[in-house]
Amino acid sequence: MLVDILTLFPGIFTGFISESLLAGAVRNGLLTVRLHNMRDWADDKHNTMDDTPAGGGAGMVLKVDRVVPSVEAVQAIDGDAGKLVMLTPQGRTLNQRIAESLAKERRLVLLCGRYEGFDDRVRQILNPDEISIGDYILNGGETAAMVLIETVMRLIPGVLGDRDSSKFDSFSNGNRLLESPQFTRPREYRGLQIPEVLLNGNHAAIEKWRQEQSQKLTRERRPDLFDRERE
């Protein structure tokens, strides 16, 4: 997958793409990340990207005549313009189903806001898929883009080895339930034991236990998911 990121702070991504699973995906050619500093499309001597809000009010707004050309130029780098995603608290909330659908794309172009966000005409002109990562406000779209990249990357075949498989993760693989509790050695710690069923090698019994635990946990903690599962 090819991921282009438009940001005013490309340095934020440096560690993110050079560590752990993501670095492996880049090394193995499963992922290419290209960083674009939107400021490169500012054509005045101060590299101005923002201006005061029309009608007054606090903060600064990202200028439509800077952002739109930067996005169009990045989209034109490749034959395929890719799927444009604007990170915004006003978008639909990211979930595993959205991640599964984005993981099928060949190219994602992620647009990160800052300050008070974008001039609304950016959205009107570019018609991006607007995605929020939750009902809270971040300083900028960069951390939201990282969340989106991580959740999508996990679903691309080959990115995770067996030991990190996403198959049984909560919300995953058509399963909208929470994953059952996990244990590893030691068998006993501070008086707490690994459940006996997980130690006896009876795979059918283990599977049954996991399914029951998964249902129980979801009913207790996230009944909304349990209801959705039955729909």
Question: Site residues (CB under 6 A) for ligand SAM?
Answer: 87-90, 112-114, 116-118, 132-134, 136-141, 144
- Spacing of C-alpha 57 from chain mean position: 31
Among residues 107, 114, 123, 154, the one annotated as catalytic is: 154
Q: If you search the block for the tokens 């939750």, which residue do you land on? A: 134
Q: If you search the block for the tokens 């349990």, which residue do you land on? A: 226
Among residues 116, 129, 150, 179, the one annotated as catalytic is: 116
Q: Are 139 and 112 in contact (CB under 8 A)?
A: no
Q: How far is the CB of 142 from ligand SAM (least distance, A)?
A: 8
**CB nearer ligand SAM, residue 66 or residue 226:** 66
Known catalytic residue at 27: no
**CB nearer ligand SAM, residue 38 or residue 198:** 38
Q: How far is the CB of 29 from ligand SAM (least distance, A)?
A: 29
**CB nearer ligand SAM, residue 133 or residue 177:** 133
Q: How far is the CB of 157 from ligand SAM (least distance, A)?
A: 27
6 vs 78: CA distance, rounded Å: 15
User: Could you write out the DSSP letters of every residue in 13-60?
Assistant: GHHHHTSHHHHHHHHTTS-EEEEEEGGGG--STT---EEPPTT--SS-
Among residues 100, 105, 169, 179, the one annotated as catalytic is: 169
Q: How far is the CB of 117 from ligand SAM (least distance, A)?
A: 3
Give me the residue whose beta carbon is nearest to ligand SAM: 113
Cβ-based burial of 209 (10 A; exposed 0-12, middle 13-18, buried ≥19): middle
**CB nearer ligand SAM, residue 116 or residue 150:** 116
Known catalytic residue at 89: yes
90 vs 102: CA distance, rounded Å: 19
Q: Which residues are annotated as catalytic?
A: 89, 116, 154, 169
